[in-house]
């Protein structure tokens, strides 16, 4: 009998740090008991001590989760309130980890891990009535599939894992476009930062989104520029700088063929960032005018996903309602 088929049983685990984790198997919820009594995790709704066991889905053919009993209860280590989930990827034997917030002080917590090759399998899981909380996917996930997941499962935390970045030694690679659109040598400090991104996700190794935008734009990696909206809490000044770079590329004063080919995509990207600035400023009047005028379908998809991010992080109920209303109107334009 699997854990999920049990009715009135509990699984208990005493941790090295002195906590007692008690899982109710029929509901797949747990409570952490401390020497002071039941724990209320940070961020718990209604200060509840009862927590759903996190269900984590790894999405992609190249993941190896053979060290877990997939679909069944497991226990993982916790550090600084973050679940430590080990995995392998891309045929490598190296053990990598992701960290997921738990809000708990316990050093061990329960999880249920799944591994699917495509989103259809996730939909099948959902149709069986199984709720999940996190999706971990590699960057081969198509943008349309990502948007589909965000729309269908608005409360699920979706993490995109980037592949290694190969840093070329070609001198031209150590160039960035200046304000005139010309390639310009980068200084030593930037070069060091770029070399430090080898074998890592560049978005996770810099806290400067404007710098990252210039790199991605130089390589015409427009999807990575979009991702900056989700990887960072961009300020209006950041967005203004990024739009300046886009404006230079759209004007294409040097008549570069690759910029001409991508001109419409660059315009669409600029429109997304223009609207994003209104969202960041909470500019209700101007943003609602834009919604009333209508948005391109591609723009509406991105704005919906961005509004979802801001709704999840709203600081009060009024903001949350505002973002929810904007999401509803954006969805009708998709």
Mean pLDDT value across residues 118-135: 89
For residue 175, the cross-strand partners are 185
156 and 293: one domain? no
The number of beta carbons lying within 10 Å of the beta carbon of residue 311 is 18
Q: Which of 161, 183, 215 is the last residue of a domain?
A: 161
**Is there a domain that residue 183 lies in?**
no
Q: Which residues pair with 98 in a beta bridge?
A: 85
| 155 and 213 share one domain | no
| 170 domain-assigned | no
* Residues 104, 238 within the same domain: no
Together in a domain, 98 and 9 = yes
Residue 139 inside a domain? The answer is yes
Share of the chain above pLDDT 90, in %: 44
Same domain, residue pair 214 and 139: no
Q: Are 256 and 146 contained in the same domain?
A: no
Among candidate residues 131, 161, 191, the one where a domain is terminated: 161
Q: Indicate whether 107 pLDDT > 50.
A: yes
Q: Are residues 138 and 220 in the same domain?
A: no
Please check whether residues 86 and 209 belong to one and the same domain: no
What predicted TM-score, i.e. pTM, was given to this entire model? Answer: 0.50
Q: What is the pLDDT of residues 240-299, one digit of tens each?
A: 999 999 999 999 888 889 999 999 999 999 999 999 999 999 999 999 999 999 999 889
Distance of CA 12 to the CA centre of its chain: 32
* CA pair distance 190, 213, nearest whole angstrom: 13
Tokens standing for 188? 């030593």
Strands (E), 171-285: 175-177, 183-185
Q: Measuring CA to CA, how many Å separate 166 from each of 31, 66, 176, 198?
A: 45, 28, 17, 6
In a domain, residue 169? The reply is no
- Residues 166-175 have pLDDT tens digits of 333 333 333 3
Domain match, 150 and 255 both: no
Say if residue 291 is in the same domain as residue 149.
Answer: no
CA–CA dist 154, 267 (Å, integer): 28
Q: Are 47 and 140 in the same domain?
A: yes
For residue 295, the enclosing domain spans 205-331
Q: Left if phi > 0, otherwise alpha if psi is -120 to 50, otherwise beta: which for 142?
A: beta
- CA dihedral over 308, 313, 314, 316, signed as positive or negative: positive
Q: Is the pLDDT of residue 75 over 50?
A: yes
Number of compact structural domains in the chain: 2
Average pLDDT on 131-138 reads: 91
């Amino acid at each position: 009998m699997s854990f999920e088929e049990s009715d009135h049983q509990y699984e208990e685990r005493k941790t090295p740090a002195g906590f007692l984790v008690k899982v109710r198997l029929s509901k797949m919820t747990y409570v952490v008991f401390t020497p002071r009594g039941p724990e209320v995790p940070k961020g718990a709704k209604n200060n509840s001590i009862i927590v759903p066991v996190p269900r984590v889905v790894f999405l992609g053919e190249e993941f190896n989760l053979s060290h877990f009993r997939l679909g069944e209860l497991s226990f993982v280590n916790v550090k600084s309130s973050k679940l430590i989930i080990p995995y392998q990827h891309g045929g490598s034997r190296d053990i990598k980890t992701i960290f997921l917030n738990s809000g708990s002080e316990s050093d061990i917590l329960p999880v249920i891990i799944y591994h699917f090759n495509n989103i259809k399998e996730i939909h099948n899981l959902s149709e069986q009535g199984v709720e999940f909380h996190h999706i971990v996917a590699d960057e081969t996930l198509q943008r349309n599939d990502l948007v589909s997941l965000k729309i269908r499962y608005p409360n699920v935390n979706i993490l995109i894992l980037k592949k290694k970045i190969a840093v070329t030694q070609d001198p031209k690679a150590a160039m960035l476009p200046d304000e005139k659109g010309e390639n310009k040598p980068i200084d030593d400090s930037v070069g060091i930062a770029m070399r430090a991104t080898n074998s890592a996700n560049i978005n996770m190794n810099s806290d400067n989104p404007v710098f990252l935008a210039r790199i991605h734009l130089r390589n015409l990696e427009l999807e990575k520029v979009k991702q900056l909206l989700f990887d960072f809490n961009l300020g209006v000044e950041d967005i203004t700088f990024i739009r300046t770079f886009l404006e230079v590329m759209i004007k294409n004063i040097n008549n570069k063929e690759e910029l001409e080919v991508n001109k419409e995509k660059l315009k669409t990207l600029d429109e997304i960032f223009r609207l994003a600035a209104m969202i960041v400023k909470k500019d209700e009047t101007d943003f609602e005018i834009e919604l009333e005028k209508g948005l391109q379908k591609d723009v509406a998809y991105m704005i919906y996903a961005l509004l979802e991010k801001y709704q999840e992080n709203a600081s009060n109920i009024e903001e949350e309602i505002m973002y929810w209303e904007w999401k509803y109107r954006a969805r009708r334009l998709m």
